[in-house]
A = this chain, B = another copy of it.
Amino acid sequence: MARTETQTTERIIAAAERRMRDGGFHGYSFREIAADVGIKSASVHHHFPTKEDLSAAVAEAYTDRFMEALGDPEDRSRSPKDLIRLYAELFRRAIIEDGQMCLCGVLASEVAALPPRVGAAAKGFFERNIAWVEAVLRRKSARARPEQIKLAALKTVALLEGAMLVSGALQSQEVFEQLADSLLD
């Protein structure tokens, strides 16, 4: 049975995500992705005409998968504290299990040099992340002022992204673990 178009498209996206999480938008090439998947670069262009197309698709798929793993912030069967724990756990898996940065963190750091749709996709990741954490924290502190909830959500996201950055630079997974744990107090 021949591989369907969709499967190849997904394999391309998976390979590009891996490369981008290491080197960012400017750190990968169509030829590398083609070699990873086992096809030629012209075939990659058939699925994604330009690098902007592919990179934006990767960032959107990454975001969708991330948000799907988070689930509904209003889910009554889970406490706010458990949901924040889950949120930190997703970042932990990315850096500890995959040994890679958050894709959209990498893209955010080079946002000034990105094609418009790739920058917009990275922006979307953070907007959706912040909105999700806000919804969780609103449940936890129903009476807090909206600006305070918003700030607490920003802090949560910023601390985890910063934790990935610092622990990556120091090559210390323990640094990430300690920072992530400090979030749950």
Binding site for B on A (CB under 8 A): 21-27, 100-101, 104-113, 119, 122-123, 125-127, 130, 151, 154-155, 157-163, 165-166, 168-171, 175, 178-179, 182
Q: Is the interface of A mostly helix, strand, loop or mixed?
A: helix
Known interface pairs A27-B110, A154-B178, A157-B162; 14 further A-B residue pairs with C-beta atoms within 8 A, sorted by A's residue number: A21-B112, A22-B113, A24-B26, A26-B26, A104-B169, A106-B109, A108-B165, A119-B169, A122-B169, A123-B169, A158-B165, A159-B159, A159-B162, A165-B165
Residues of B near A160 (CB, < 8 A) are 162
Q: Is the CB of B154 within 8 A of A165?
A: no
Residues of B near A182 (CB, < 8 A) are 151, 155
